[in-house]
Amino acid sequence: MSSDRVFSEELIDKLTCTLELNLGGMIRNLPLPQTSPIHRHATNSSLGRIDTLPPELLLFILNLLDFQSLSRLSRASFRAKAIVEALPAYQELLEHAPDVLVALGRTRILRYHSAALLRQTLRTNRCESCFDFGAFLFLPTCERVCFQCLHENHALRVTTLNLAKKCFHLTNSHLKKIPVLHSIPGTYSVMFHVSRRKVYRLVSVKQVKQLAIEVHGSAENVARLLPPTPPQGMSRRDFWIFKWFHMAPLDPPACDLSRKPGRSNLVEDDFGGMASIRMPSLSGTSADRGRICKGCHLIDRLHSQGSLPTAVLENLVPQGIGPSRPLLALMNRLYSREGFLEHIKTCYGVDRLLAGWGK
């Protein structure tokens, strides 16, 4: 295998792809914000009464604000503009993830997440579901996620207000306690292709289930809301949607779900990709958007051709699990730079590519 090889940056670039091959179905291609060119400093400009606060306390307070509030504050005076633009959270998000801010604004989620939380998420790289590299931001909860967990983990799905109310016996008043995302019309795909031409009001299944437990008193009380069979007037599809939403895990599975046994009666995600966007991970001043292994794509191709060695397949796919889901997950997995350097030490597809290139 490749464990003893030294990989140059040029070779690493050749073995990876930073563009999503099958991952283009998230929020994307948003026009980026334009920053104000005004830099004049007025001697009498101030923040009013909060100017009397110690700098440390002022910084703490500003970091608790969301970017919508910070934007409004920056228009109050020249001094306010200078202070907001000097915030590390403001600088880092605007430099490395401006499209994330646009997406949060377009979906009306921006006001729910503080500048400090967004910066903290920007500076992490772990998927909140499986703990591997998470290259995407799930907008309602401001959590990092990976592509496979967006597909496999029902807690990371979004649904309409009406379906959420019926599924968990909630009211409009209850749902005011959690973020409501206004979708951006377009074409999306997280395994399933969906095209939506109108704006939907959507809520996170995870947050709805947490809210239901709060409203109804316990997880056991919420579980009793689901009938054992479809009631009169409910389609079987809606019944299974309700069932999977009730089974959505509130705690992280902390594993690769593609390596677990497949589940029957799964329902296509009607809004897959509409609440997530690619987000780089920032370490120091270096941003890592993740990279896909071309060797894993070769493995999937060899398997489809029937030419993948049995020993390799048995090493990649757990016993008793069909190969399609684990291999597809490998093909779609994004690695951090450090994660990829570990991965290529044992990737059969990388060895085949290097052999073919004579390296």
Model pLDDT for residues 287-325, shown as the tens digit of each residue? 999 999 999 999 999 999 999 999 999 999 999 899 999
Q: What is the pLDDT of residue 327?
A: 94
Q: What is the pLDDT of residue 266?
A: 80
Residue 298: helix, strand or coil by DSSP?
Answer: helix
Q: What is the pLDDT of residue 39?
A: 55
**155 closest CA partner among 264, 252, 249:** 249
Any residues with CB less than 8 A from the CB of 8 and at least 6 apart, and which? none
Of the pLDDT bands very low, low, confident and very high (cuts 50, 70, 90), residue 45 is low
Of the pLDDT bands very low, low, confident and very high (cuts 50, 70, 90), residue 41 is low
Q: What is the pLDDT of residue 191?
A: 80
User: Please, are residues 274 and 182 in contact by the beta-carbon 8 Å criterion?
Assistant: no
Percent with pLDDT over 90 in the chain: 71
pLDDT over 80 at 47, yes or no: no
Model pLDDT for residues 242-255, shown as the tens digit of each residue? 999 999 999 999 99
Higher-scoring residue by pLDDT: 96, 3: 96
Q: How far apart are CA 66 and CA 337, in angstroms?
A: 31
Q: Give the burial class of 138: count Cβ atoms within 10 A of its Cβ; 0-12 exposed, 13-18 middle, 19 or more buried.
A: buried
318-342 average pLDDT score: 92
Q: How far apart are CA 149 and CA 157, in angstroms?
A: 10
**67 closest CA partner among 45, 85, 40, 41:** 85
Q: How far apart are CA 150 and CA 157, in angstroms?
A: 7
pLDDT over 90 at 263, yes or no: no
pLDDT over 70 at 31, yes or no: yes
Of the pLDDT bands very low, low, confident and very high (cuts 50, 70, 90), residue 40 is low
331-347 average pLDDT score: 92
Model pLDDT for residues 133-184, shown as the tens digit of each residue? 999 999 999 999 999 999 999 999 999 999 999 999 999 999 999 999 999 9
Q: How far apart are CA 143 and CA 113, in angstroms?
A: 11
DSSP code for 27: B
User: What average pLDDT does the chain have?
Assistant: 90
What is the enclosing helix (H) or strand (E) of 287?
A: strand 286-288
Q: How far apart are CA 149 and CA 152, in angstroms?
A: 5
Between strands 291-293 and 16-17, the pairing is antiparallel
Q: How far apart are CA 283 and CA 322, in angstroms?
A: 37
**71 closest CA partner among 87, 51, 92, 52:** 87
User: Please, are residues 303 and 313 in contact by the beta-carbon 8 Å criterion?
Assistant: yes
Provide the residue ranges of all domains of the chain, joining segments of one domain with +. Answer: 1-18+290-359, 136-278
Whose structure tokens read 């929020």? 27
